[in-house]
């Protein structure tokens, strides 16, 4: 990909200019040696020579997690993202992958009580953590009040954003049990919905807040 084709603006403040690209590269230890080696590999491949084999995978790491109350131990590659661990290794596919660029919030899960975008966290960073995913909210077959709110107030259409939206709402209500409409909108800023226009989502959270206060 040429620098000019990369749109970094969603996660960096900057534009697509070459100057910006070089600054990021420079800052992030894309050092000269790596660059030289790579360009040599590239040239060799163009010349039809043997291309250096991919390095053998680096050591995996054992991690222990508790997800929705259940203990798990797995060996993972350090570069595995938490969302891939949850979906592909543990098999809980309720948390979705939307943008993969930390913007949409579809991958939101709770790690030690903090809502996080699990596409922007390594599984190894969650070693020892208590994780709650959307699957962990309902108890004994009864929907959580937030889930019930989304049902009652039509807080979803396609449902793709819903697991993340509910986990973000869960964080919001844990910190503020009686939020104003503005606080709800502010608290869900990290989650995008392409269907509902948000109004029904806000109402769903209001429903849940009322119900949770009894």
Partner 1 sequence: MIPGSFEYFAPTALDEALSLLQEHGDDAKVLAGGHSLIPTMKLRLAEPAVIIDIGGIGSLKGISESDGNLVIGALTTHHELESSDLVQQKVPLLAETAAEIGDVQVRNKGTIGGSLAHADPAADWPATILALDADLQITGPNGERTVKATDFFQGLYETDLGDDEILTAIHVSIPDANTKGTYLKLHQVASGFALTGVAVVLTKSGDTCQSVAVGITGVSEAPYRASGVESGLTGSALSAENIAAAAERAVDGITALEDIHASEAYRQNLAKVYTRRAIEAAAS
Ligand X SMILES: Cc1cc2nc3c(=O)[nH]c(=O)nc-3n(C[C@H](O)[C@H](O)[C@H](O)COP(=O)(O)OP(=O)(O)OC[C@H]3O[C@@H](n4cnc5c(N)ncnc54)[C@H](O)[C@@H]3O)c2cc1C
- Give the binding site for partner 1 (CB under 8 A): 6, 8-17, 19-21, 23-31, 33-34, 55, 57-59, 61, 77-81, 84, 100-102, 105, 108, 114-117, 119-122, 124-125, 127, 168, 171-172, 175, 187, 189-191
Q: Out of partner 1, ligand FES, ligand X, none, which partner does residue 114 contact, by CB within 5 to 8 A per kind?
A: partner 1
Tell me how far, at minimum, the Cβ of 100 lies from ligand FES, in Å: 5
* Among the listed residues 16, 66, 102, 125, the single contact to ligand X using CB under 6 A: 102
For residue 5, report the phi and psi dihedrals to the nearest 5 degrees: -90, -10
154 binds, among ligand FES, partner 1, ligand X, none (CB under 5 to 8 A by kind): none
Shortest distance in whole angstroms from residue 13 CB to partner 1: 3
In the bound state with ligand FES, the residue whose beta carbon lies nearer, of 3 and 152, is: 152
* Contact of residue 168 among partner 1, ligand X, ligand FES, none (CB under 5-8 Å per partner type): partner 1
Instruction: Tell me if 43 contacts ligand X by CB under 6 A.
Output: no
**Minimum distance of ligand FES from residue 121's CB (angstroms):** 9
Compare residues 50 and 54 and give the one whose CB is closer to partner 1.
54
Applying CB under 6 A, which of residues 11, 51, 62, 174 lies at the interface with ligand X? 11
Q: Which two tokens stand for residue 211?
A: 């119900």
Task: Write phi, then psi, for 110 (nearest 5 degrees).
Answer: -100, 125
Please give the residue whose beta carbon sits closest to ligand X in the complex: 102
For residues 213 and 23, give the distance between their C-alpha atoms in angstroms, rounded to a whole number: 51
Binding site for ligand FES (CB under 6 A): 97-100, 102-107, 117, 119, 156-162, 193-196
Residue 81, contacted partner among partner 1, ligand FES, ligand X, none, CB below 5-8 A by kind: partner 1
CB neighbourhood size of 135 (10 A): 16
What is Dmax (Cα atoms) for the chain? Answer: 72
């Amino acid at each position: 990909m040429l620098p000019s084709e990369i749109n970094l603006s969603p996660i960096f403040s900057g534009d697509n200019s070459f100057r910006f690209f070089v600054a990021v590269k420079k800052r992030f230890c894309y050092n000269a040696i790596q660059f030289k080696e790579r360009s040599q590999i590239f040239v060799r491949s163009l010349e039809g020579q043997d291309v250096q084999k991919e390095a053998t995978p680096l050591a995996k790491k054992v991690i222990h997690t508790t997800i929705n109350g259940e203990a798990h131990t797995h060996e993972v590659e350090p570069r595995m993202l938490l969302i891939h661990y949850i979906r592909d290794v543990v098999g809980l596919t309720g948390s979705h992958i939307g943008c993969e660029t930390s913007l949409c919030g579809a991958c939101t899960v709770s790690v030690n009580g903090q809502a996080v975008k699990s596409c922007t966290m390594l599984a190894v960073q969650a070693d020892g953590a208590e994780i709650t995913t959307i699957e962990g909210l309902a108890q004994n077959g009864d929907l959580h009040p937030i889930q019930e709110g989304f049902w009652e107030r039509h807080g979803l259409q396609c449902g793709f954003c819903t697991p993340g939206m509910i986990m973000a709402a869960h964080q919001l209500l844990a910190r503020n049990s009686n939020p104003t409409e503005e606080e709800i909108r502010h608290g869900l800023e990290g989650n995008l919905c392409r269907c509902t226009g948000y109004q029904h989502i806000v109402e769903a959270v209001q429903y849940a807040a009322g119900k949770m206060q009894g």
